[in-house]
Amino acid sequence: MNRADPSAPLIDRFQRRITYLRVSVTDRCDFRCVYCMSDAMTFLPRQELLSLEEIDRLATAFVSRGVRKLRLTGGEPLVRRNIMWLIRSLSRHIGNGLDELTLTTNGSQLERYATALADCGIKRINVSLDTLDAAKFRAITRYGDFAQVMRGIEAASRAGLKIKINTVALRDVNEDEIPELIEWSHGRGFDITLIETMPLGDIDGDRTDQYLPLSLIRTRLNQRFTLDGLDYRSGGPARYVTVAETGGRLGFITPLTHNFCESCNRVRVTCTGILYMCLGQDDAADLRAPMRASASDELLHAAIDEAIARKPKGHDFVIGRGEKPSISRHMSMTGG
Ligand code: SAM
Ligand code: SF4
């Protein structure tokens, strides 16, 4: 095996530089959103999970290889025990290799953690919210408490965190509410991004029942709002516009209908230390074994190099009636 250079940038076969890492810190969640997991979801045995120290070590290895943005996700990242220890520890990289440490959360624990997150140098967070109707919120999330999430969002806002709302567009469920969600978000100074459902993991229903193409929503929104195209791109699948009437920013994530792979700068690690080079492909590399095999990071860096060299050119999603999900793992494994 070639000796890996622990400070060499990660560049794949297609000359894409990997600068963005998403880490799922747990597969567990206090919600069971209908599009994400089944009500009877079984979670991994705890001993399978990377320890917080291992997550820290792994993320640190990526930062030394040029990763500039780190997003913690899950499952619900803020339900992992001692999560603030990890966040505090990782915050040492901010301004020291890392431009941004952030997280994606369902908001249920934000009331408790917002101030601590801001104190760690976190500037922005994504909060998932699919409806403003408390009963519908409970139906979508199965266990979520809308008022608690609202208090969490307020606490985060008060703590000075910039908030981006993520809304999954669901046919017949929240499609009529989307203009209201945009006005609500922009009225509070939040960005909002609409997401198409992705065929990841077995759920209880049929995904074609939930699938709502964002092209259709965009056509409808154009009748109500003036959407001004923005050049702004995050290097990911999102495209952004400014809504003239509100002055706020609106994103569209359309992994099924648009190709964004040519500029993909990201990879994902699951809570068990499996590195996925592409959200839409099954190819993966185990980073837990090389990490546990040696106290030095040499094997870990070699495994990262090997994996990045295999990053595929693009993804391969399909959604068809009655078909099994094209990717069998759940979104809560890789965190989206
Ligand atoms: N629990 C946190 C949350 O909900 O924000 C973080 C993890 S969650 C898996 C990350 C994002 O993925 C959420 O915005 C969620 O709405 C989205 N998501 C989950 N399953 C999805 C699916 N099948 N298609 C599209 N988005 C999905
Ligand atoms: Fe939990 Fe997030 Fe999945 Fe909802 S989308 S079940 S909050 S991991």
DSSP 318-336: ---TTPPPSB-S-HHHHT-
1 within domain boundaries: no
Q: Please tell me whether residue 68 adopts helix, strand or coil conformation.
A: coil
Distance CA 37, CA 75 (A): 10
* Assigned domain for 322 exists: yes
* Closest ligand relative to 140 C-alpha: 2
Strand 249-253: give its sheet, edge to edge.
227-229, 238-243, 249-253, 191-195, 162-168, 124-128, 100-105, 69-73, 20-24, 266-269, 274-276, 284-286
**Minimal-distance CA residue to ligand 1 atom 12:** 336
DSSP string, 186-225: HHTT-EEEEE----BS--SS-GGGT---HHHHHHHHHHHS
Residue 253, CB half-sphere, CA atoms under 13 Å: how many?
A: 17
Q: Which of 25, 29, 142 to mutate to test the pocket of ligand 2 (most atoms within 8 A of CB)?
A: 29
User: Domain tally for the chain?
Assistant: 1
Q: Whose CA is nearest to atom 3 of ligand 2?
A: 36
Write the DSSP symbol of residue 77: G
Answer whether 228's CB lies under 8 Å from 241's CB: yes
159: exposed, middle or buried (Cβ count in 10 Å: 0-12, 13-18, 19+)? middle
The alpha carbon of 315 and the centre of ligand 2 are apart by a number of angstroms equal to 22
Q: One digit per residue, pLDDT tens: the chain, 336 residues?
A: 456 788 999 999 999 999 999 999 999 999 999 999 999 999 999 889 999 999 999 999 999 999 999 999 999 999 999 999 999 999 999 999 999 999 999 999 999 999 999 999 999 999 999 999 999 999 999 999 999 999 999 999 999 999 999 999 999 999 999 999 999 999 999 999 999 887 767 777 766 678 888 989 999 999 999 999 865 566 677 889 999 999 999 999 876 554 667 788 999 999 999 999 987 788 899 999 999 999 999 999 999 999 999 988 876 655 554 555 556 666 666 666
Q: Label residues 228-250 b or e (16+ Cβ within 10 Å = b).
A: eeeeeebebbbbbbbbeebebbb
CB 258 within 8 A of CB 201: no
Pocket lining: 201 vs ligand 2, CB cutoff 6 Å? no
Is the residue at 24 inside a domain?
yes
Please report, for residues 95, 303, 307, the alpha-carbon distance to residue 61 in angstroms, rounded to integers and kept in the order given.
Answer: 16, 11, 14
Count CB-CB contacts under 10 A for residue 325: 17
Locate the ligand 1 atom nearest the alpha carbon of residue 168 and give its number: 16
Task: Tell which residue, 318, 335, 336, has the closest CA to residue 327.
Answer: 318
Residue nearest to atom 17 of ligand 1 (CA): 336
Is there an atom of ligand 1 within 6 Å of 107 CB? no
Contact 58, 273 (CB under 8 A): yes
26 lines ligand 1 (CB under 6 A): no
Domain that holds residue 27: 20-334
| 119 assigned to some structural domain | yes
Residue 58 lies in a domain: yes
Residue 7 lies in a domain: no
Say if 132 falls within a structural domain: yes
What CATH number did the domain enclosing 326 receive?
A: 3.20.20.70
Amino acid 116: pLDDT: 98
Residue 9 lies in a domain: no
